[in-house]
């Protein structure tokens, strides 16, 4: 099987698709240390919300609540970090640390060697999944 092409910032180009398979393909194609972090993020979301909906859209894994047709979280590779997007992050407590040009969106940037505060991340996932998400 041919390796996915990496777009700018090392973001894997994975065809749009729904379910675990495209998300796992994206994570496997993340370059270097980012793949391990992507695997950990996916595992944390999946363990926290066993019925979470998954997809790859816009070359990013997306996570959504089962009972709704919207998305509450995604992540994306950049050269020096992974950007985790909480689409209604402005409503989370505490608010994720990185602002967005979009009023409701907040980010968590993960750099090589950063420790993930798993308890905080899981809490944000729980909170975000209960909020209305984005229809993308």
Indicate which CATH number applies to the domain containing 21: 3.90.1150.200
What's the number of domains the chain is made of? 1
Q: Is residue 1 part of a domain?
A: no
116 near 110, Cβ under 8 Å? yes
List of residues 6+ apart from 74 with CB closer than 8 A = 60, 61, 62, 63, 84, 85, 87
Q: Could you tell me the pTM of the whole model?
A: 0.92
Q: Is residue 104 part of a domain?
A: yes
Q: Is residue 135 part of a domain?
A: no
What range defines the domain where residue 28 resides?
8-130
Q: Is 106 helix (H, G, I), strand (E, B) or coil?
A: strand
User: What is the predicted pLDDT for the residue at 10?
Assistant: 81
Confidence of residue 4 (pLDDT cuts 50, 70, 90): confident
Query: Angle, to 10 degrees, between the axis of helix 33-48 and the axis of helix 118-130?
Result: 50
Burial class of residue 72 in the structure, from the number of CB atoms within 10 Å of its CB (0-12 exposed, 13-18 middle, 19+ buried): buried
User: What is the predicted pLDDT for the residue at 2?
Assistant: 60
- pLDDT at residue 1 greater than cutoff 60: no
Integer Cα distance of 37 and 104 in angstroms: 25
Integer Cα distance of 97 and 106 in angstroms: 7
Q: Is residue 2 part of a domain?
A: no
Q: Is residue 67 part of a domain?
A: yes
């Amino acid at each position: 099987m041919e390796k996915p092409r990496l777009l700018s910032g090392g973001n894997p180009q994975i065809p749009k698709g729904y379910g675990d398979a495209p998300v796992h393909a994206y994570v496997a194609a993340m370059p270097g240390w980012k793949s391990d972090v992507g695997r950990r993020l996916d595992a944390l979301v999946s363990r926290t919300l066993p019925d979470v909906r998954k997809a790859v859209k816009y070359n990013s894994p997306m996570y959504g609540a089962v009972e709704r047709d919207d998305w509450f979280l995604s992540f994306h590779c950049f050269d020096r970090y992974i950007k985790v997007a909480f689409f209604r992050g402005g409503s989370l407590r505490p608010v994720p640390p990185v602002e967005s040009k979009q009023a409701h969106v907040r980010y968590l940037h993960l750099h090589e060697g950063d420790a993930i505060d798993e308890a905080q991340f899981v809490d944000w996932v729980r909170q975000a999944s209960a909020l209305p998400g984005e229809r993308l």
